[in-house]
Amino acid sequence: MGETDGTQPLAVDLFGMVEVAEGGIVSKTIVEDQRLKLVHFSFAPGQELSEHTASVPATIHILRGSGTVRLGDRTYDAQPGSLFYMPAELRHAVQATDELVFLLTMFRS
């Protein structure tokens, strides 16, 4: 697995990056530059990213597992293939029912 500052091409195996810590959350930055940040997350069952906001728009793309994603006042089932878009400053949270793996993309201005 590699990381890039966005100036070089990069090919990664998102499933190969999965590393679930017992009772924890593992995050791995894949790309980070002035325009965007891609972060791979692996949640152990029952783990949660509590409600918060971000100053930039972002997406969550569920790769594996199941859980819930709360966007504002609505809660959605999260399953492989689900994609969630969050405008800047939207309250959101993520909770894993089973092991949950997703890709977070943050779009910077």
62 near 102, Cβ under 8 Å?
A: yes
Residue 74 CA to residue 99 CA, distance in Å, equals 22
Any idea where the domains of the chain sit in the sequence? 39-107
Q: Does 22 or 64 have the greater pLDDT score? A: 64
**CA 71, CA 68: separation in Å to the nearest integer?**
10
**What integer pLDDT is reported at residue 105 of this predicted model?**
96
97, 62 in Cβ contact below 8 A? no
Structure tokens, 10: 């990069």
Would you give the DSSP letter of residue 4?
Answer: B
Tell me the per-residue pLDDT of 36-75, one tens digit each, with 9 for 90 and over: 999 999 999 999 999 999 999 999 999 999 999 999 999 9
105, 57 contact by CB (below 8 A): no
Output the pLDDT for position 2. 56
Whole-number pLDDT of residue 15 = 86
pTM of the model: 0.88
Residues 6+ apart with CB under 8 A from 8: none
CATH architecture of 39-107: Sandwich (2.60)
Tell me the pLDDT of the chain averaged across its residues.
Answer: 91
Q: What pLDDT, on the 0 to 100 scale, is given for residue 17? A: 84
